[in-house]
Amino acid sequence: MTPGLPSRAGTPPADWRDTRPPAGGRYSYAFLDEGAKREIRRRILKAAAIPGCQVPFGSREMPIARGWGTGGLQLTLSLIGPEDVLKVIDQGADDSVNAVNIKKFVTRVTGVAVTTDTAAATMIQTRHRIPEEPLQPHQILIFQVPIPEPLRLVEPSERETRRMHAEADYSRMWLYLYEDIVKFNEITVGARYPVLVNCRHLMDPSPIPRWDLAKLHQGEALFLFCAGREKRIYAVPPHTEVQPLSFEDFAFRVEAFAGRRCARCGSGGTYLDEVIDDATGRRTYACSDTAFCEKARRSCGAAEDPPTREGIA
Amino acid sequence: MDASGRRNQKNYRSLLQSLSRPGRVVRLADLAGVPPLSAAMAIAECLLDSEVGFCVDDSSCAHGLQRAIAEATGARTECLEAADFVFFSEGDSRGGVRRAKRGRSEFPEEGATLVYCLESPPADVSDRFRVRLTGPGIPGPSGIAPEMPGIPVQEFQDLMIVNADYPLGVDAFFVRPNGEVMGLPRSTRIRVR
Amino acid sequence: MGYVAVRGGAAAIENSEKFSLVRRAGGASGLLTPEQIREQLYFAVDRVMGEGSLYAPDLAALAFKQAAGDSFEAAFILRSYRTTLPRIGYSEPVAPDGMRVIRRISAAFKDIPGGQILGPTPDYTLRLLDFELQEESAARTRQQIRQLLRETNRLDPLPERFPKVVELLRREGLLVRRHASGKDRGLTDITRQALSFPAPRSAQLQSLARGETGGMLALAYSNMRGYGSVHPVIGELRVGFLSVPFRNPRSGSVECIGEVLVTEAEVIARLAEAEGPARFSLGYGLCFGHNETKAIAMAVLDRAMSGGEPAAPSEDQEFVLTHVDGIESMGFCNHYKLPHYVTFQSELDRLRRIQAGSGLTGEENP
């Protein structure tokens, strides 16, 4: 990669006006300066052009700690505009502390409207889940990714994993899964299950449960993934082949809930959180996707808070 | 957000949309500069700055696109083979596409981004039906014909050859003076009758 | 019903900020000013500047106050602020031998041109807890300082320039020649591009210069103790002020726009060369502020990573550079506190299936 120095030493770059501090010491729109946004935007295009391929980018430090969503945040901030409606979830929940914190920051630097209703959102930033409601073509789903490299399970060196992707040499991953089956009669990989994208690139879908992988395959929306600390962006466009690694005689399996239903809304077809009742030690189960659960409850006639949509001037 | 930031954000969303749904026509929201190259300028302002190199492949130097982009963005001028962005200001690369960089096996993303600046569409638009596009972003196994007419079929054939060694390759935008854009990433499989 | 509602995230965050305020400022003692921190806790401020990668002593002191003394947090706050600052340009290269020195020593030679200048160092103090500092009298301390300044007026001034010790070795042909080759030519900017390995030396030095002191110390220590082969001798250690030259974009002339306090360490290690005579090789360390531990660790790691096949983690460039950034390591370490119950549910599912498959349900595996 060519160095990013100005071509004439000592002369400010032609775009230097972009980088002057905004009047009154306030932050730029969406916090990132135009140069940072442009770099991220260029990288996103390349990621979309090569589905599943990790594209390195100049990740910026954010006021939120590394490991806490700075990657997803940089994508959101580079894409967002005043007409967008943003939803942020963590483990499927809109009001988890991490989601609330991120929403607070984004609304502070953009004034954009936020919602808990999946159908009303134009951009959704998520940690570890895909919403249960099917996404629409105009929507963008942005995944927070801790470790973008699917081969990290079998190889710690980035140099080596880069070579493996270049040569489509995924034999060590296949071997790992095969050894699992031999040892445990099961594939022990839970979330972060490796998938093959566009029949070419092995990809880490981020720590979403296996339950959610089918939603990546031939979807309607654009899926963008970003690891801020590891500095990688990757993408799955709509209508793209996404297949979890699986053997002919040992099929890929999703999590089983043994026919259990959500204790709040009664759904039988969603990913459930297991909750320990602290009084009795009993287990109850509820939808991980809290917004979906609320909608289902209301459509059953139960009175509960409506989905929030706050416009912030 | 200031006016140019706003314009870049909106135009970028259109560009991302067009590359994620290849073969479809999307419209840039907000053009920049003077027609007929205001659409190309809008793309340049959106994506280029002093961190990248570009080349305008333009046999008649009458257009002035090269100078306009350099002044507006601060991007470095490079030869075609080294440029990150190549503008074919006459809508036809005349084989130039084959010289653009395609990336290295460990860094395929280094492949160039091409911008074809097309004139207004010609009268005969049937040529596009000789081309079939399939792959990521395109629903259905039988795919679609490119929605934008007036692109020389030879260009599709050249792109097919250049992008044959996926994931190495180039990614293209075709743009019209009225702001219509069609994206063609290297992941799109092209077939020509 | 036993369902525990997980609502109220926003309120919980607000309350946590209020509780932190009470912890920091709810006591009876007078509130610290950033000025006090900058002047009296200067090692902390220098460490925060170095790891925050922004030379701004007042802001580093403010960040340290805001973080209630957590240097990881303070460096993080400074880095985050750095992101918002415009990139105006690049300085001209600086020759460090023009440093306005406040401390300068060499372990390689008993005496050196210009002399061994101990300067302000705690190195030779006895580490006995000084109870007199509990009731330090401002008047008496200021009197002591006035007395000291009167005495120093009668001493000879320091020389303006101190020649570099390594230059002497270079002139004798005892140092390996260093030439930039291929990728090493020109500067990369690690804040604009992701690192890829093998990384050029400019990227290596930048990463180390902003690295976290404790992490770098542990890695360098491992090498010094034997997980590696550097066996360092400090050729020269300097602490002083470097002027920052910048080319005026209008007039074209180079002007000094300020001074930065830096610590520089040059470490000499023996190198067995494949062909030709054996020569010494050099490891280089430079960081913002007065931080000798970091500069020495940096020089040792710089040397350790420049060899051939790594025989230990401290010699593996990818291992070292990936793990020395304090903002990244601290962030990731602490991110495990975030909810992980969805992925844990997935793991539970796997384990239960395995146990079910092997005929064991909910009992200990033998």
Tens of pLDDT, residues C81-140 = 998 887 888 899 998 888 999 999 999 888 888 889 999 998 988 888 999 999 999 999
Verify whether residue A52 is a known catalytic residue: yes
* First-to-final CA distance of chain A: 42
When CB atoms are compared, the residue of B10, B76, B113 closest to A45 is B113
Interface membership of A24 toward B (CB under 8 Å) = no
Interface membership of A313 toward B (CB under 8 Å) = no
**How many angstroms separate the CA of residue A94 from the nearest CA in chain B?**
25
Touching chains, B (3+ CB pairs < 8 A):
A
List chain A residues with CB under 8 Å of C246.
10
Q: Is the pLDDT of residue C320 over 70?
A: yes
The per-residue pLDDT for A26 is 60
A31 vs A76, residue with greater confidence: A76
Confidence of residue A303 (pLDDT cuts 50, 70, 90): low
Query: What parts of chain B have a pLDDT lower than 50?
Result: none
Of A72, A92, A228, A293, the active-site residue reads: A293
When CB atoms are compared, the residue of B21, B109, B137 closest to A55 is B109
Interchain contact, A192 vs C82, CB within 8 Å: no
Verify whether residue A69 is a known catalytic residue: no
Verify whether residue A293 is a known catalytic residue: yes
> Tokens standing for A250?
């040992």
Interchain contact, C249 vs A96, CB within 8 Å: no
**How many angstroms separate the CA of residue B132 from the nearest CA in chain A?**
16
Cβ pairs A/B, distance under 8 A: 132
The per-residue pLDDT for B62 is 52
Where in C252-360 does DSSP place strands (E)? 254-271, 279-288
Residue C11 CA to chain centroid, in angstroms?
37
Verify whether residue A226 is a known catalytic residue: no
Q: CA A41, CA B10: separation in Å to the nearest integer?
A: 12
The per-residue pLDDT for C307 is 79
The per-residue pLDDT for C61 is 98
Residue B76 CA to chain centroid, in angstroms?
19
**pLDDT average, residue stretch A20-32:** 64
b/e map of C213-236 (b: 16 or more CB within 10 Å)? bbbbbebbebbbeeebbbebebbb
List chain C residues with CB under 8 Å of A102.
none
Q: Is the pLDDT of residue A10 over 50?
A: no
The per-residue pLDDT for C359 is 62
Q: What is the mean pLDDT of chain C?
A: 88
Confidence of residue C7 (pLDDT cuts 50, 70, 90): low
**pLDDT average, residue stretch A90-100:** 90
**How many angstroms separate the CA of residue A86 from the nearest CA in chain C?**
17
The per-residue pLDDT for C356 is 85
CB-based contact A150:A158 (threshold 8 Å): no
Interchain contact, A51 vs B136, CB within 8 Å: yes
**What are the Cα distances from residue C206, in Å, to A100, A157, A313, B25, B165?**
35, 21, 42, 45, 36
Q: Which CATH architecture has domain B3-192?
A: 3-Layer(aba) Sandwich (3.40)
Secondary structure of A214-257 as H, E, C letters: HHHCCCCCEEEEEECCCCEEEEECCCCCEEECCECCECCCCCCC
Quickly list H helices, B21-150.
38-47, 65-73
Strands A232-236 and A55-56: antiparallel
**How many angstroms separate the CA of residue B152 from the nearest CA in chain A?**
22
Instruction: Give the mutation candidate from B50, B163, B184 for the A interface (greatest A CB count, under 10 A).
Output: B50
Ranges of CATH 3.40.50.11310 domains, chain A: 18-150+190-243
Interchain contact, B74 vs A13, CB within 8 Å: yes
Interchain contact, C10 vs A104, CB within 8 Å: yes
Interface membership of A260 toward B (CB under 8 Å) = no
Map residue A273 onto helix, strand or coil. Answer: strand
The per-residue pLDDT for C249 is 82
The per-residue pLDDT for A13 is 41
**pLDDT average, residue stretch A139-165:** 95
Q: Is the pLDDT of residue C6 over 70?
A: no
Q: Which of A61, A117, A57 is nearest to A86 (CA)?
A: A117
List chain A residues with CB under 8 Å of B140.
239
Residue that the structure tokens 């170095």 belong to: C50
CB-based contact B19:A45 (threshold 8 Å): yes
In this structure, of A34-38, A300-304, B22-26, the range with the lowest mean pLDDT score is A300-304
The per-residue pLDDT for A12 is 42
List chain B residues with CB under 8 Å of A237.
20-21, 136-137, 187
**pLDDT average, residue stretch A229-252:** 95
Map residue A114 onto helix, strand or coil. Answer: strand
In this structure, of A30-44, A285-299, C275-289, the range with the lowest mean pLDDT score is C275-289
The per-residue pLDDT for A186 is 85
The per-residue pLDDT for A23 is 41
**How many angstroms separate the CA of residue A90 from the nearest CA in chain B?**
25
When CB atoms are compared, the residue of A38, A55, A238 closest to B49 is A38
Confidence of residue C366 (pLDDT cuts 50, 70, 90): very low
Query: Domain A18-150+190-243 maps to which CATH number in 3.40.50.11310, 3.30.930.10, 3.40.50.300, 3.40.50.20?
Result: 3.40.50.11310
Interface membership of C341 toward A (CB under 8 Å) = yes
Q: CA C6, CA A96: separation in Å to the nearest integer?
A: 7
Confidence of residue A95 (pLDDT cuts 50, 70, 90): confident
Verify whether residue A300 is a known catalytic residue: no
Cis peptide before C198 (omega within 30 of 0): yes
The per-residue pLDDT for C274 is 55
Q: Is the pLDDT of residue C329 over 90?
A: yes
Chain length of chain B: 193
When CB atoms are compared, the residue of A18, A166, A238 closest to B105 is A166
The per-residue pLDDT for C352 is 86
Interchain contact, A14 vs B21, CB within 8 Å: no
Touching chains, A (3+ CB pairs < 8 A):
B, C
Q: Is the pLDDT of residue C28 over 80?
A: yes
Each domain of chain B, given as residue ranges in start order, spans: 3-192
Interface membership of A179 toward C (CB under 8 Å) = no
List chain A residues with CB under 8 Å of B167.
50, 53, 200-201
A 189-228: CB under 8 A from C? 189-192, 207-211
Which residue type occupies A221?
Answer: A
